[in-house]
Structure 1
Amino acid sequence: MRAALMYGAGDVRVESVPDSVIKYPTDALVRITASCVCGTDLWPYASMKPEDGPARMGHEFIGVVEDTGSEVTTVKRGDLVVSPWAISDNTCEFCREGLQTSCSHPQANFWDGEAEEGGQAEAIRVPLADGTLVKLPVAADSALIPSLLTLSDVFATGYHAAAAGGVNEGTRVIVIGDGAIGLMAVLSAKRLGAEQIILMGRHQARTDLGREFGATDVVAARGEEGVEAARGLTGGHGAHVVVEAVGTRPAYTQALGVIRPGGVISRVGAPQYEEAPIGFGSLFRHNIRLAGGPSPVRAYIERLMPDILNGEIEPGKVFDVTTDLDGVPAGYRSMADRKALKVLVKP
């Protein structure tokens, strides 16, 4: 079978790899029918050292179950399924609390380099299939597939950002970052009833989509100028919830500049820094809380899926380029060059 492997910074190749096979009785073998490139894939694409490769890539996918281990009971051959980006048993103490990303099962893991296989491929072995996979009530060629694929990570992560921040009716929200996750945070904040949603981003095609998803205002400026503009739109006080959907230290600093006293900074951009100010002069003085983290996608799939199925929302609009597996290397380049927002892959 064929799969995408990252050999180092800027070096993604599609090559033949050993066929995926069932190894444990709790496994499922899935033939992938839709996957994508994630913004977080761009971090290793920019910095991976050759000695750390090659790594199988991709952590968002939909596919058809081809085979199952003897202990799998919730899915069967022929089922169309979506996989969260984290593997979990969905039964341990942490999973029952909605923290599947902290699952205590020994086989719990993340796709995309940490697990043995990746979703940018023709097929994949899914450990802990009963806990990880969710059956979809549509056909593999459904027009809803792009939107349903966002349940694997990006939409659920945007929702996690808004939910962890405590967004509700009357909330003022600022979203930092106009990438796919930032746009999904806008959509989620709207869904949760936010009164005002300010999107901070510089790419008009993306911020236009953000307005379609529910942003009431857009601030293109960065740094102190951006902070001043965003605070001005909130009456000078800042927002109740700030979603940091980038993962860089400047984005965190910007979040500190626009948060309201007593507010919540919700971080879902994978942090590319080890330390951030949290002391008296930053968070402590004004009772500002820090929330967010890796999205426990599995906890949200059933909650978010109905609005996609009934056509109320269309998060799949974040996909602006579609390619096949051979086009994955070019897809990485186009996203890294900001020529594409998010690339959909149909092997």
Structure 2
Amino acid sequence: MRAIVRESGNVRVSDLPDPEIKEPTDAVVRVVLAAVCGTDLWGYRSGEAILPGPRAGHEFLGVIEDIGKDVAGLRRGDVVLAPFWYSDGTCDACQDGLSTSCRSGGMWGGENDGGQGEAVRVPFADANLTRLPLTVGDERLPALLTLTDVMATGTHGVRAAAVRQGSTVAVVGDGAVGLCAVLAARRAGAEQIILLGSHQSRLSVGAGFGATSIVSERGAEAGARVRELTNGRGAHCVVECVGVQSSIDTALDVVRDGGSIAMIGAPHFTINDVSPIFLRNLTLSGGLTPVREVAPTLLADVLSGDLDPSPVFDMTVDLDGIPDAYQAMADRTAIKALARL
């Protein structure tokens, strides 16, 4: 098969062995749609990928081509959705609803098959693949693809930050996850949703998703502007969607005392002094999204058309165009790329 591989911070299309059934609980999925994630760009920009290994991509949906003899709930030809982190579905962590802590689990890409390729071997198929009652030509598939990561992650952040009816929410970051967090905050009943970002095309999507205010300032000026918008108090809830030092510093600046911060950006920062957090009675939460638990709560609304996160995709490529998509996202000329395989 053909698939994207990473080499020293670059990506290219390469020929790789076709996936095969190795365990009786496996399935082989032919990829129909995949995406490029902001997490993929860490390795692209710096050469230091989140996961070691050459394979790339952790967001995909497709059609089951082959299936192990012990897979009970799926059939060849089913259109299926995969979470970005696979799990066995049986361990204590999985039973507790924290599939991302599964001892047998992992992320697509690295040494595993990546979603940015023609096919993927999926272990523990019954635990990881969600059957979709659709055909491969259905126009809702791009919206459903967001449930593999970004929409589920935005929802996880909103829930972790305890957003509720009437909350004031600040979303730090205007990437796909931040935009989906805006959408999730609106669905949770937030009264005021402040999106912090600086890219006009992204901010326009955020406004369409429900942001009531846009803050393009950075650093201390961003904090001052958020306090101005919140009568001097700051936000009840902050969803931090970037994962760098400046974004966590901004989150701590814009949250009001007694408020909560959900950290859902892949962390590349340190918190050296917890005293201000303690003295201000702040709650820090978030973490790696258990998509297997979150996505099913969103599925019916996407299928019905009540939820459509697909506007985060503003670039569409084929497999050969994925390297260009990485560059476009790194240059901030695209929010998120959709790959049709």
Confirm or deny that 1:316 pairs with 2:330: no
Paired with 1:54 and 1:198, the residues of 2 have a C-alpha distance of: 38
**Normalising to structure 2: TM-score of the pair?**
0.97
Q: Indicate the residue corresponding to 2:274 in structure 1.
A: 279
1:193-217 CA distance string (max 9 Å, x none)? 1111000011111111101101110
The answer for unaligned runs of 5 or more in structure 1 is none
Give the one of 98, 107, 112 matched to 1:110: 107
Paired with 1:69 and 1:278, the residues of 2 have a C-alpha distance of: 51
Tell me if the contact between 1:80 and 1:140 (Cα under 8 Å) persists in the aligned partners: yes
Q: Indicate the residue corresponding to 2:297 in structure 1.
A: 303
Q: Indicate the residue corresponding to 1:240 in structure 2.
A: 236
1:89-148 CA distance string (max 9 Å, x none)? 2232222222110113x3x111131x4210000001001111111001111110001000
Confirm or deny that 1:212 pairs with 2:211: no
Paired with 1:112 and 1:179, the residues of 2 have a C-alpha distance of: 21
Paired with 1:186 and 1:204, the residues of 2 have a C-alpha distance of: 16
Runs of 4+ aligned residues of structure 1 deviating over 6 Å after TM superposition are none
Q: Indicate the residue corresponding to 2:140 in structure 1.
A: 144
Paired with 2:249 and 2:158, the residues of 1 have a C-alpha distance of: 19
Compute the displacement of 1:189 (Å).
0.5
One-letter identity of the residue aligned with 1:264: S
Paired with 1:16 and 1:237, the residues of 2 have a C-alpha distance of: 56
Paired with 1:287 and 1:278, the residues of 2 have a C-alpha distance of: 14
Compute the displacement of 1:76 (Å).
1.0
Q: Indicate the residue corresponding to 1:95 in structure 2.
A: 94
Query: Higher mean Cα deviation, 11-20 or 41-50?
Result: 41-50
1:5-29 CA distance string (max 9 Å, x none)? 01012x1010100111111111100
Paired with 2:294 and 2:22, the residues of 1 have a C-alpha distance of: 28
CA RMSD of aligned residues (A): 1.3
**Normalising to structure 1: TM-score of the pair?**
0.96
Paired with 1:261 and 1:49, the residues of 2 have a C-alpha distance of: 36
Paired with 1:91 and 1:232, the residues of 2 have a C-alpha distance of: 49
Percent identity between the aligned chains?
A: 49
Q: Indicate the residue corresponding to 2:33 in structure 1.
A: 34
Matches within 5 A, 1:1-347: 1-9=1-9, 11-48=10-47, 55-104=54-103, 106=104, 108-113=105-110, 115-273=111-269, 275-280=270-275, 282-347=276-341
1:35-75 CA distance string (max 9 Å, x none)? 0100110001011159x976100000001001111111111
Tell me if the contact between 1:8 and 1:54 (Cα under 8 Å) persists in the aligned partners: no
1:300 counterpart SS class: helix
Paired with 1:319 and 1:192, the residues of 2 have a C-alpha distance of: 23
Give the count of matched residue pairs.
Answer: 340
One-letter identity of the residue aligned with 1:24: E
